[in-house]
Amino acid sequence: MRFGVLTGGGDCPGLNPTIRAVVLRAARGGHATVGFLDGWKGVRDGLVRPLPPAEVAGILNRGGTVLGSSRTNPFAKEDDAAKVLAVLARERIDALVAIGGDDTLSAARELHRRGRPVIGVPKTMDNDVGGTDWTFGFHSATAVAVDALERLRDTAQSHHRAIVLEVMGRNAGWVALGTGLAGGADATLLPEEPYDEAALLARVRAAVAARGYALVVASEGVELGTAKGSAGAKDEFGHELLRERGVGAEVARRIEAATGVESRSAQIGHIQRGGAPELFDRILASRLGAAAVDLALAGRFGEVAVLRGESVRGVPFDEALRSPKTVSPDWIDLIRSLEA
């Protein structure tokens, strides 16, 4: 068989180990792999690169994606869809492995509906793909945010300030939850809950009274009611670029205005997405990449390789994409019980 592989959407640590696993697992069975550059854009425009095993040596521990990525939606225009189908035929692709989040996987599902042999692999630092227990990228990105929070703790303590760390995650609060839990924040603001300013201020006041400073984690997706400066800029899949709203800075401003405690904010943005994948992500990515090849060799097209408990298995696109995974009440209960 001739495999094609692409990485679409926002990059995250773990993409390179997945590409490597696809190439090596396929090669082990005597199958060749080519990579499409820059996500669906590369399939649409015929940007192809051969991926013999030697090409993936040494990429296991590298962040980003050696194939490049984009947020191109290949089905936004019928002309583009026709180009995608023509390129797949020209390149004689017997199995396309699409590695991505909800958007990339939705495009892969559409391609499958049009009769092409596609397998999906979920990835995203947001951890919001419904059909899998974890997505790779989340652990590595959240570890970066925890490190940032710990650095902010030092300076907040020195200056007796409240500091708000804004983290990514889109409309799911997993990154904020993980950062708040593992970093010991005094308050963590999640998009899954209505913004409660009185509760936030009470926690900040309690923390400042107890030890002279406060740390708050705010997810970029939190709705503040009077959202400051919503830029309205959208990507090709129609998602607003949430960081432009400046939630963290606005929360810090409100804390200072209401409590008199000098406040600052930090937005670490894309720093979270870079760097070497952590252990968990390397292992999960490797397992999913290998599983994608196995699904294709078994003829199970139209499935996504997912993690369920300890096991990796294939589920249909519709099941994997049924509903985005958001932070559940039991997690919220846990973090509330451990805050200031």
Question: Is 126 in the active site?
Answer: yes
Sign for the pseudo-dihedral over CA of 40, 314, 328, 201 = negative
**CB contact at 8 A, 177 and 190:** yes
Q: Which of 8, 10, 68, 173 binds ligand F6P (CB under 6 A)?
A: 10
**CB contact at 8 A, 314 and 304:** yes
Residue number with CB closer to ligand F6P (164 or 296)? 164
Residue number with CB closer to ligand F6P (169 or 178)? 169
Tell me if 173 contacts ligand F6P by CB under 6 A.
no
Q: Which residues contact 220 (CB under 8 A, 6 or more apart)?
A: 166, 167, 168, 169, 170, 242, 243, 245, 247, 248
Residue number with CB closer to ligand F6P (178 or 314)? 178
CB-based closest residue to ligand F6P = 168
Query: What mask of x and - would describe binding to ligand F6P in positions 63 to 102, judged by CB under 6 A?
Result: --------------------------------------x-
Residues 251, 256, 261: CA angle, nearest 5 degrees: 130
Tell me if 25 contacts ligand F6P by CB under 6 A.
no
Tell me if 126 contacts ligand F6P by CB under 6 A.
yes
Residues numbered 212 to 251 that lie near ligand F6P (CB under 6 A) are 220, 235, 241-242
Q: Which residues contact 285 (CB under 8 A, 6 or more apart)?
A: 14, 15, 16, 17, 18, 21, 123, 136, 277
Task: In whole angstroms, give the CA distance from residue 175 to residue 177.
Answer: 5
Q: Amino acid letter at 318?
A: D
CB of 191 to ligand F6P, least distance (A): 11
- Judged by CB under 6 A, which stretch of 24-32, 167-175, 298-306, 313-321 contacts ligand F6P? 167-175
Task: At 188, list the tokens.
Answer: 């963590």
**Three-state SS annotation for 30-72:** CCEEEEECCCHHHHHHCCEEECCHHHHCCCCCCCCCCCCCCCC
Q: Which of 34, 88, 125, 247 binds ligand F6P (CB under 6 A)?
A: 125
- Greatest extent of the chain over all pairs of C-alpha atoms, in Å: 68
**CB contact at 8 A, 120 and 135:** no
- Judged by CB under 6 A, which stretch of 121-129, 176-184, 255-263, 321-329 contacts ligand F6P? 121-129
The residues that bridge with 7 in the sheet, in sequence order, are: 99
Residue 295, Cβ neighbours under 10 Å: how many?
A: 23
Count of positions on this chain that bind ligand F6P (CB under 6 A) = 13
Catalytic residue among 126, 128, 186, 281, which? 126
Residues numbered 249 to 288 that lie near ligand F6P (CB under 6 A) are 273
- Judged by CB under 6 A, which stretch of 37-45, 60-68, 168-176, 307-315 contacts ligand F6P? 168-176
Residue number with CB closer to ligand F6P (72 or 263)? 72
Tell me if 171 contacts ligand F6P by CB under 6 A.
no
Residue number with CB closer to ligand F6P (84 or 242)? 242
Residues that bind ligand F6P (CB under 6 A): 10, 101, 124-126, 168-170, 220, 235, 241-242, 273
